Chains A and B, each alone.
Chain A
Amino acid sequence: MKTLIEITDLTYKYRSGGGNAVTALNGVTMQVYRGEILAITGQNGSGKSTLARHFNALLTPGSGEVIVDGLSVNDKKNTAAIRRIVGMVFQNPDNQLVSSVVEEDVAFGPENLGLPQAEIVKRVDWALKSLDLEAYRYRSPNSLSEGQKQLVAIAGVLAMKPKCIVLDEPTAHLDPKGKREVLENVQRLNRDEGITTVLLTHSMNEVVHCDRMIIMDQGLIKLTGAPRELFAQAEQIKALGLDLPAAAQLAYGLKLKGLTLPGNILTIEELVASLCQLP
């Protein structure tokens, strides 16, 4: 079975402060494939966080269906099983770390699963090693950089051995170095451990490294495809209030000025290579 998460015609409404019902998702149909890195992007308020919170049953559908690894989110009995399959990392590490000791925090998830003590220790060792955090094992998260804190949050999810990790804007508040640390580790876990990854982000430079991307707007999926295909449609992307990756944007501008460049440049390296081939 190729599909890990299957979403059909999902709608979700929530009550605003004034008591009005606001439609956050308005008929979303999509899939997350096993082993891929999928980027979900869109402006703030486009519904991407609401969508992602259905992936591990933090929200249940207003209408429509969400099937995770054969289990329906609509059925409350599946909730515990689904949360073992799909782990979630949030934007602000300070608001998701429970413990004041790194290893204790990583153990929090496995402890909740009711695993035997020896297995918890094994998993904590493994998760800390996978993310190169062993040196900080007994430290307080408060003494770490923001990027390292976010890695601790990822380790805490990893220790639950999920098939899929959903990251909700994990780099939004990080500095460039922290961003790089987090992204490189996410990519490595996907490659080495085969963990299906869903990355919610505003940064198009991050999207470039994903296998597939979904662009959302006003509770709907507007575009789906490989980043290279979608970024070739510069006007459409801009109309949805998003940027192109820097290299693609530069290539687009140069083409408008009459330079003949290929239509699907994504990275700096590609742009430089194409520029060098110009007559």
Chain B
Amino acid sequence: MELTKNITLGVYLPGKSFIHRLDPRTKIIASGIIVILLLMIRSYQAYGAVFIFLAAAVIIAGIPPGYAFSGFKPMLPVLTFMWIFQLFLYSSPDAEVIFSWWIFTATDAGFHMGTLITLRVIFLFGITTLLTLTTSMVSLTDGLESLLSPLKAIGLPTQELVMTMVIALRFVLILAEELDKIVKAQMARGVAFDRGNFIQKTKKIFPVFLPLFISAFKRAEELIIAMEARSYTGGKHRTKMKTLHIGRVDLAAILIMLIFSALIIFLILTVNPTI
């Protein structure tokens, strides 16, 4: 039983690659652009292009491909459910029926819709994972803070928002480790998490959350007091030890992103959408 093993979201894998060295703002904006492109894509061809791009990024960043993919394992049941859901629910007037059983009818339109939506979720997850694997939490915050700073003018507490996000992300791993301990404590008292049907399994999960939430609240409370004791009073009078610089690697990356975006937009405009 090792629950934290397959968590890749929010984990930072230190390295010295081209992608690691980029200014966090470059990486955040690039990820943002890819997310927007993903939301517009409706063909397998365009997904193929994004896949090649992301795969290249994973290789350049020196992330072992097997590890990059292992993050999807815990999501498999949800993804499968989503796919099946779309398969049976989505249809269009000219769709061809693949098979039907009782009240369920699967059409080719449903099949493509399910596949494309599932791909979209996988890619969205993938790009976020790539961002956090190659960017430390600290520089991620610095980048976000800098990017959001214009919003301060309209009264948005950007620094506070960013600090909240950092802490939330940091807690993903701590809570996962804690969940591991709680699950083990329950297994040690005779709970068989791997036995029973879906409802029985779900029922067993509930007692896990009570101690998890209590512990999360306790930690949060202690962290707040510790931050307050170190004179944290929000972003107002804070200064920073480090400032960000856009360098040559960033210019190169921006160029690559422009070319890539043009390619995807070209594909979106020229290839007939599958749906």
- Interfacial residues, chain A to chain B (CB-CB below 8 A): 53, 56, 58, 80, 83-84, 87-88, 90, 92, 94-96, 98-101, 103-104, 107-117, 120-121, 124, 140, 156-157, 160
A interface secondary structure, majority: helix
Let me know if B136 is at the binding interface, CB within 8 A.
yes
Number of chain B interface residues as a range: 20 to 34
Chain B residues 169-223 with CB under 8 Å of chain A are 170, 174, 219, 222-223
Cross-interface CB contact of B231 among A80, A95, A140, cutoff 8 Å: A80
Extra contacts, 20 of them, besides A112-B231, A112-B232 (Cβ < 8 A), are A80-B231, A87-B230, A88-B229, A92-B222, A96-B223, A98-B223, A100-B137, A104-B242, A107-B241, A108-B227, A108-B232, A109-B230, A109-B231, A110-B241, A112-B238, A113-B231, A113-B237, A117-B240, A120-B239, A140-B12
- Inter-subunit contact B241/A95 (CB<8 Å): no
User: What chain A residues lie within 8 Å of B138 (beta carbons)?
Assistant: 99-101, 104
Let me know if B225 is at the binding interface, CB within 8 A.
yes
- How far apart are the CA atoms of A88 and B226 in the complex, in Å? 8
- How far apart are the CA atoms of A99 and B233 in the complex, in Å? 17
- Inter-subunit contact B240/A96 (CB<8 Å): no
- Interfacial residues, chain B to chain A (CB-CB below 8 A): 12, 136-138, 167, 170, 174, 219, 222-223, 225-233, 237-243
Cross-interface CB contact of B239 among A88, A100, A111, cutoff 8 Å: A111
- How far apart are the CA atoms of A121 and B228 in the complex, in Å? 21
- Inter-subunit contact B241/A104 (CB<8 Å): yes
Listed residue (B167, B219, B229, B238) with the most chain A CB atoms within 10 angstroms of its CB: B229
Listed residue (B167, B240, B243) with the most chain A CB atoms within 10 angstroms of its CB: B240
- Inter-subunit contact A87/B238 (CB<8 Å): no
User: What chain B residues lie within 8 Å of A140 (beta carbons)?
Assistant: 12
- Inter-subunit contact B227/A98 (CB<8 Å): yes
